[in-house]
Structure 1
Amino acid sequence: MGKTAYKRLKGSQSFRQRLVLATLSSTPILIEDIRTDETWPGLQKHEVSLLRLLEKISDDCVVEINETGTKLKYKPGIIMGGKHLSHDCGVSRSIGYFLEPLLLLGLFGKKPLTIRLKGITNDPKDPSVDTFRSTTLPILKRFGVPSEGLDLKIESRGVPPNGGGEVVLAVPIVQSLTAVTWMDEGMVKRIRGVTFSARVSSQFENSMIHAARGVFNRLLPDVHIFTDHKAGPQAGNSPGYGISLVAETTSGCFISADTAISRARAEETSDFTDDEKKDLMPPENIGQQIAFSLLEEIEQGGVVDSTHQGLLFLLCALCPQDFSKIRVGKLSQHGIETLRNIREFLALKFVIKPDPNTGTVILKCIGSGLKNLSRKVS
């Protein structure tokens, strides 16, 4: 056995993407100086949880963390997939943080993946599970991922600080993805959405819907926002409410925006005593705010919203050695970091060309030709 050559990286940025790209390109990595200058140095709870999740879905994967958590060695194994898996995501980040890596890795597994994830389903930081269901899964289908076996069921809701939500994710396996030319964002033809409330009055949902519709109805008639009021065990462990909206266009693009409101996590409110904790934002304001956020995303142009840019670039990069061409709005910070990570791990560069007429950006690339070698050939 030769000595393993590790790719050396520094810092805590792009942690998820580095792990995903390292796994897909079978590149062992060594990350040093993880938050060395911060009060709480080293890996955070959700990052350790993500590493444990990777161990669950793959075989022969080696994770070594030093005592302070500031240095990580990760040697990827073979993605196995499998049924009846379960993972507690904890409450330091929501389930949305774990879903994107799972979707990308699950596609290239040996067997289809079915996994139950427990934790926070909706929070203001990560995309909600509703957005994954309404927007992320259709993006995967564009790249040739079969609809059969691709599913996300929301069994119970959970908001910060105590979570308590549960979802079941199913990801089919593919031999390889299909390259896309996806340039036309089309015109918005309808808006769909879902509000949820857990351990609070369902009236909150009506207020959010009313406020959001007040913004949209001046622009288009086809607006439907559904309610998902949870009670009892399905309502998780903390009170909260939220809304997820998605605009569907004439060319089959989905542009989304979402948020959720709940009491802040303990560490974020340590300065307050209980009676000083600020009141939650009223549902009317939430409905209106997210409606405007969605309009801003639509105005930016592009075939996906800013949250999904990173995923879109990764999918293009993982395609066969074929030509992909896509249009996005203004490049987000996350999108730019993704392009850097793709170059670092797959030695693949995108041609980036701004389109001054629309204020959008056109990106082209030849895929890296990733094939699923562990899949059983039927």
Structure 2
Amino acid sequence: MSDNASNSLMYEGSNYFRMRLILSLLSGKPLTITRIRHDDVNPGLNEAEVNVVRLIDKITNGSHIHVNETGTELNFQPGLLVGGKVHHKCSTQRGIGYYLEVLLCVGPFCKYPLDVTLRGATNHKMDLSVEAIRAASVPILSKFFLLENEVELKVVKRALNPNADGEVAFKCPISRKLKPVQITKQGKVKRIRGVAYTTKVSPALGHRMVFEAKRILMQCIPDVYINVDHSKGTKTGSSPGFGVHLVAETTEGVFFVAEAMSPPASPGVDPVIPEDLGREAAMKLLEEIHNGGCVSSCSQALVILLMALGEKDVSKYTVGPLTPYSIQQLRHLMDCFSLKFQLDLVSGDSAEEDLDFGSSKVGLTCIGVGMRNISKRVL
């Protein structure tokens, strides 16, 4: 919650750690988090959380960070978002997607365009893959920002845990302000694309995943194409693994994503069958389509944040059932910006017939706080 007396943000616990850092950076309010895993066997911040704080320190100027001896309390005084060229080694506890989600939120508000090279696990069981972020989250920025150039996100070297020696290049231009959006039409799925990737294993595993995923999806739509990406040589890491990533595109330019991957090879862990992964990814994608909305569930929180930071005008967005992370995002925005969203249950009618199927949709409406990038140079 927000402390009005000192105009600072104060929270307890380790949940929603990145969200709180992002809101502190964008609002300029100091942040204090206490009782971080104070009852755990390993108390305090974990390696990945410390690592993301170091990344934030690299892209800012004047940030003051203080962590107590046990790591159970963090005091963060946000500085100026500078951006620029950054190289960062990510923690193996989380994937590169864990860090990319932070950069996507703050990148357009930096003084200089971001040019970041991240090294770590490009695909991780706990986080979105780079492909999922590129398909679901990157297009959202172009809907809200008037960007001079395109956002670039490229996998230079694919790698999995435990060695996690992959590399990703991310470039994000800057923008002066956000524009209000009115996106309420979902459209119908017109095609499904995907990538089945394999590293340090037989390429035949990729074809087996493709066959099973297509067997399920082609019962719903004929336009299904899944490519097999077998990384080898210098373009792959040293850890074996495989997985599949699927994207469904609608007639209104909405993308739904789903993915599944093998667990890291370790003693006591049973090997996974490629057909099971193909089936899991296909069923997850069908569930995303069933939930519907104008954004994939993994990018709901990004949409909510950008709506809140937009111009002082009405923004509307239709989404599927709110995820727990999105619900907490709404609460944090109330703490940070005293901003409330209007939530409406959206049902199909003559104007929006494409919403009259699947799960109930939620209509998000708010008036933005008018966030401006004061650091952007104006010619």
If the length of structure 2 is used for normalisation, what is the TM-score? Answer: 0.93
- Distance apart, 1:219 and its partner CA: 1.4
Residue 346 of structure 1 is matched in structure 2 by 337
Q: Kindly provide the amino acid, as one letter, of the partner of residue 134 in structure 2.
A: R
Residue 281 of structure 1 is matched in structure 2 by 272
The runs of 5 or more residues in structure 1 that have no matched partner are none
Residue 123 of structure 1 is matched in structure 2 by 124
The runs of 5 or more residues in structure 2 that have no matched partner are 349-355
Q: What's the Cα RMSD here?
A: 1.5
- Distance apart, 1:279 and its partner CA: 2.5
Q: Kindly provide the amino acid, as one letter, of the partner of residue 311 in structure 2.
A: P
8 Å Cα contact 2:9-2:336 kept in structure 1: no
8 Å Cα contact 2:67-2:74 kept in structure 1: yes
Report matched runs for 1:228-247 at 5 Å.
228-247=229-248
Residue 111 of structure 2 is matched in structure 1 by 110
Matched, 1:377 2:378: yes
Counterparts of 1:262 and 1:175 in 2: how far apart (Å)?
42
Residue 54 of structure 1 is matched in structure 2 by 56
Q: Which secondary structure state, in structure 2, belongs to the residue aligned with residue 256 of structure 1?
A: strand
Matched, 1:323 2:314: yes
Counterparts of 1:162 and 1:145 in 2: how far apart (Å)?
39
- Equivalent pairs: percent with the same residue? 41
Q: Which secondary structure state, in structure 2, belongs to the residue aligned with residue 101 of structure 1?
A: helix
Q: Kindly provide the amino acid, as one letter, of the partner of residue 82 in structure 2.
A: M
Q: Which secondary structure state, in structure 2, belongs to the residue aligned with residue 70 of structure 1?
A: coil
Residue 33 of structure 1 is matched in structure 2 by 35
Residue 10 of structure 1 is matched in structure 2 by 12
Counterparts of 1:115 and 1:219 in 2: how far apart (Å)?
39
Counterparts of 2:51 and 2:117 in 1: how far apart (Å)?
14
* Structure 1 residues 62 and 256: alpha-carbon distance in aligned structure 2, compared to 1, 3 A threshold: same
Q: Which moved more, 1:244-253 or 1:216-225?
A: 216-225
Once the two structures are superposed, what CA deviation does each residue of 1:177-216 show, in whole Å capped at 9, x if it has no partner? 1111111110000001111111111111111111111111
Counterparts of 2:146 and 2:155 in 1: how far apart (Å)?
21
Counterparts of 1:32 and 1:170 in 2: how far apart (Å)?
34
8 Å Cα contact 2:209-2:274 kept in structure 1: yes
Matched, 1:305 2:306: no
Q: Which secondary structure state, in structure 2, belongs to the residue aligned with residue 262 of structure 1?
A: coil
Q: Which secondary structure state, in structure 2, belongs to the residue aligned with residue 363 of structure 1?
A: strand
Counterparts of 2:272 and 2:347 in 1: how far apart (Å)?
38
8 Å Cα contact 2:260-2:278 kept in structure 1: no
Matched, 1:253 2:277: no
8 Å Cα contact 1:238-1:262 kept in structure 2: no
Report matched runs for 1:147-158 at 5 Å.
148-158=149-159
Aligned residues: 365
Report matched runs for 1:141-152 at 5 Å.
141-146=142-147, 148-152=149-153
Deviating 4+ runs (over 3 angstroms): 3-6
Once the two structures are superposed, what CA deviation does each residue of 1:111-144 show, in whole Å capped at 9, x if it has no partner? 1000000001112211100111122111111113
- Distance apart, 1:152 and its partner CA: 0.4
Q: Which secondary structure state, in structure 2, belongs to the residue aligned with residue 364 of structure 1?
A: strand
Q: Which secondary structure state, in structure 2, belongs to the residue aligned with residue 233 of structure 1?
A: helix
- Distance apart, 1:259 and its partner CA: 2.2
Counterparts of 1:199 and 1:344 in 2: how far apart (Å)?
47
